[in-house]
Amino acid sequence: MRLPEPIKKWLPTALIGGAAGSVLYFASQIIDSIAAPFWQYIAPAIPQKLLLSLCCLLLLAAGMLGAYVIYLCRAHREPIEAEKREAFDAQFGEFVASRGVWTHKTKPGYFCNNCKAKLRESRMLELSGGRGWQCMIEECKQTVYNPDYRPPEPPQDQSPYIDFSGL
Protein backbone atom coordinates (compact mmCIF):
# COMPACT_ATOMS: atom_id res chain seq x y z
CA MET A 1 0.00 0.00 0.00
CA ARG A 2 1.35 3.43 -0.96
CA LEU A 3 0.70 6.59 0.98
CA PRO A 4 -0.73 9.58 -0.86
CA GLU A 5 1.84 12.28 -1.68
CA PRO A 6 0.51 14.97 0.72
CA ILE A 7 0.55 12.51 3.63
CA LYS A 8 4.01 11.22 2.71
CA LYS A 9 5.28 14.79 2.63
CA TRP A 10 4.05 15.83 6.11
CA LEU A 11 4.19 12.49 7.97
CA PRO A 12 7.84 12.77 9.16
CA THR A 13 7.24 16.29 10.46
CA ALA A 14 4.08 15.20 12.29
CA LEU A 15 5.84 12.20 13.87
CA ILE A 16 8.81 14.29 15.02
CA GLY A 17 6.47 16.99 16.38
CA GLY A 18 4.40 14.40 18.26
CA ALA A 19 7.47 12.76 19.78
CA ALA A 20 8.91 16.14 20.82
CA GLY A 21 5.57 17.16 22.37
CA SER A 22 5.39 13.92 24.38
CA VAL A 23 8.93 14.36 25.67
CA LEU A 24 8.23 17.96 26.65
CA TYR A 25 5.00 17.00 28.44
CA PHE A 26 6.74 14.37 30.56
CA ALA A 27 9.67 16.71 31.23
CA SER A 28 7.27 19.39 32.49
CA GLN A 29 5.58 16.85 34.80
CA ILE A 30 8.97 15.82 36.23
CA ILE A 31 10.05 19.44 36.75
CA ASP A 32 6.71 20.24 38.41
CA SER A 33 7.07 17.35 40.87
CA ILE A 34 10.68 18.33 41.66
CA ALA A 35 9.81 22.02 42.10
CA ALA A 36 6.73 21.43 44.29
CA PRO A 37 8.72 21.09 47.57
CA PHE A 38 10.63 24.28 46.72
CA TRP A 39 7.43 26.29 46.30
CA GLN A 40 5.80 24.73 49.41
CA TYR A 41 8.63 25.01 51.93
CA ILE A 42 11.50 27.23 50.69
CA ALA A 43 9.85 30.02 48.68
CA PRO A 44 7.67 31.24 51.61
CA ALA A 45 10.83 31.61 53.72
CA ILE A 46 12.45 34.09 51.26
CA PRO A 47 11.84 37.73 52.33
CA GLN A 48 9.71 39.89 50.03
CA LYS A 49 12.50 42.52 49.70
CA LEU A 50 14.90 39.90 48.39
CA LEU A 51 12.31 38.60 45.91
CA LEU A 52 11.64 42.14 44.70
CA SER A 53 15.38 42.78 44.28
CA LEU A 54 15.80 39.51 42.37
CA CYS A 55 12.87 40.37 40.10
CA CYS A 56 14.32 43.83 39.40
CA LEU A 57 17.71 42.28 38.65
CA LEU A 58 16.06 39.80 36.29
CA LEU A 59 14.17 42.62 34.58
CA LEU A 60 17.40 44.62 34.18
CA ALA A 61 19.21 41.60 32.71
CA ALA A 62 16.33 40.99 30.28
CA GLY A 63 16.38 44.65 29.21
CA MET A 64 20.13 44.60 28.65
CA LEU A 65 19.84 41.38 26.65
CA GLY A 66 17.09 42.93 24.52
CA ALA A 67 19.19 46.03 23.87
CA TYR A 68 22.16 43.86 22.91
CA VAL A 69 20.04 41.83 20.48
CA ILE A 70 18.73 45.02 18.87
CA TYR A 71 22.30 46.34 18.60
CA LEU A 72 23.46 43.12 16.93
CA CYS A 73 20.57 43.22 14.46
CA ARG A 74 21.36 46.78 13.45
CA ALA A 75 25.13 46.31 13.38
CA HIS A 76 25.00 43.30 11.07
CA ARG A 77 22.23 44.36 8.75
CA GLU A 78 22.82 45.01 5.07
CA PRO A 79 22.94 48.74 4.35
CA ILE A 80 20.08 50.11 2.30
CA GLU A 81 20.64 51.55 -1.17
CA ALA A 82 20.57 55.16 0.05
CA GLU A 83 23.30 54.43 2.63
CA LYS A 84 25.45 52.73 -0.02
CA ARG A 85 25.00 55.72 -2.33
CA GLU A 86 25.86 58.18 0.46
CA ALA A 87 29.02 56.26 1.42
CA PHE A 88 30.08 56.10 -2.23
CA ASP A 89 29.47 59.83 -2.82
CA ALA A 90 31.36 60.73 0.38
CA GLN A 91 34.67 59.59 -1.08
CA PHE A 92 34.55 62.15 -3.89
CA GLY A 93 35.67 65.74 -3.55
CA GLU A 94 34.16 68.42 -5.70
CA PHE A 95 32.70 68.45 -9.18
CA VAL A 96 34.82 70.42 -11.63
CA ALA A 97 32.05 71.88 -13.76
CA SER A 98 34.35 73.42 -16.37
CA ARG A 99 35.73 69.98 -17.18
CA GLY A 100 32.74 67.80 -16.30
CA VAL A 101 34.73 65.51 -13.99
CA TRP A 102 35.01 64.73 -10.27
CA THR A 103 37.99 64.92 -7.95
CA HIS A 104 38.63 62.30 -5.28
CA LYS A 105 39.40 63.04 -1.64
CA THR A 106 42.31 60.60 -1.37
CA LYS A 107 43.33 59.68 -4.93
CA PRO A 108 44.92 61.90 -7.57
CA GLY A 109 43.42 62.68 -10.95
CA TYR A 110 39.92 63.11 -12.28
CA PHE A 111 37.05 60.62 -12.15
CA CYS A 112 34.33 59.90 -14.71
CA ASN A 113 30.97 61.56 -14.14
CA ASN A 114 28.98 58.86 -16.01
CA CYS A 115 30.59 56.03 -14.05
CA LYS A 116 30.03 57.82 -10.73
CA ALA A 117 26.31 57.98 -11.51
CA LYS A 118 26.41 54.17 -11.92
CA LEU A 119 28.28 53.75 -8.58
CA ARG A 120 31.58 52.90 -10.28
CA GLU A 121 34.85 54.57 -9.39
CA SER A 122 36.71 55.16 -12.65
CA ARG A 123 39.87 57.23 -12.79
CA MET A 124 40.19 58.99 -16.13
CA LEU A 125 43.30 58.57 -18.23
CA GLU A 126 44.91 61.79 -19.42
CA LEU A 127 45.11 62.06 -23.19
CA SER A 128 48.42 62.86 -24.85
CA GLY A 129 49.45 66.49 -24.90
CA GLY A 130 46.92 67.49 -22.22
CA ARG A 131 44.02 67.53 -24.70
CA GLY A 132 41.61 65.99 -22.15
CA TRP A 133 40.73 62.81 -20.29
CA GLN A 134 39.13 59.49 -21.20
CA CYS A 135 37.32 56.97 -18.99
CA MET A 136 39.12 53.63 -18.79
CA ILE A 137 35.98 51.48 -18.36
CA GLU A 138 35.20 49.61 -21.56
CA GLU A 139 31.41 50.22 -21.48
CA CYS A 140 31.81 53.97 -20.93
CA LYS A 141 34.90 55.37 -22.71
CA GLN A 142 33.63 58.91 -22.13
CA THR A 143 36.05 61.55 -23.37
CA VAL A 144 36.19 64.99 -21.77
CA TYR A 145 38.19 67.65 -23.55
CA ASN A 146 40.28 70.14 -21.62
CA PRO A 147 38.84 73.65 -22.07
CA ASP A 148 42.27 75.13 -21.26
CA TYR A 149 44.01 73.17 -24.03
CA ARG A 150 45.59 75.25 -26.75
CA PRO A 151 46.94 73.35 -29.73
CA PRO A 152 50.58 74.00 -30.45
CA GLU A 153 51.34 76.62 -33.07
CA PRO A 154 52.11 75.08 -36.42
CA PRO A 155 55.76 75.54 -37.34
CA GLN A 156 56.61 78.48 -39.58
CA ASP A 157 56.97 77.45 -43.16
CA GLN A 158 60.68 77.71 -43.82
CA SER A 159 61.20 77.62 -47.49
CA PRO A 160 64.60 76.56 -48.79
CA TYR A 161 64.77 79.73 -50.88
CA ILE A 162 66.61 82.78 -49.68
CA ASP A 163 64.95 86.14 -50.06
CA PHE A 164 67.27 88.45 -52.05
CA SER A 165 64.71 91.19 -52.54
CA GLY A 166 66.25 93.44 -49.96
CA LEU A 167 69.73 93.47 -51.51
Query: pLDDT band for position 116 (50/70/90)?
Result: confident
Q: Is residue 162 part of a domain?
A: no
Measured CA to CA, the distance from residue 147 to residue 144 in angstroms comes to 9
Are 141 and 94 part of one and the same domain?
Answer: yes
Q: Does residue 111 share a domain with residue 89?
A: yes
Measured CA to CA, the distance from residue 143 to residue 159 in angstroms comes to 38
In a domain, 124, yes or no: yes
Q: Average per-residue pLDDT in the chain? A: 85
Q: Are residues 126 and 73 in the same domain?
A: no
With contact defined as beta carbons under 8 Å apart, do 142 and 114 qualify? yes
Domain extent at residue 62: 47-77
163 assigned to some structural domain = no
Query: Residue 142's closest CA among 117, 166, 107?
Result: 117
Report if residue 34 sits inside a domain.
yes
Angstrom distance (rounded) from CA 160 to CA 166: 17
Q: Please state the φ and ψ torsions of residue 142, each to the nearest 5 degrees.
A: -65, 135
Q: What is the pLDDT of residue 112?
A: 87
Give the confidence band of 161 by pLDDT, cuts at 50, 70, 90: low
pTM of the model: 0.46
Q: In terms of domains, do 88 and 138 share one? A: yes
65-69, 112-116, 129-133, range with greatest mean pLDDT: 65-69
90 and 121, same domain (yes or no) = yes
Say how many domains are in the chain. 3
Residue 126 CA to residue 157 CA, distance in Å, equals 31
Choose between 147 and 107: higher pLDDT.
107
> Could you give the dihedral angle defined by the CA atoms of residues 56, 59, 65 and 67, in that order, rounded to the nearest 10 degrees?
-100
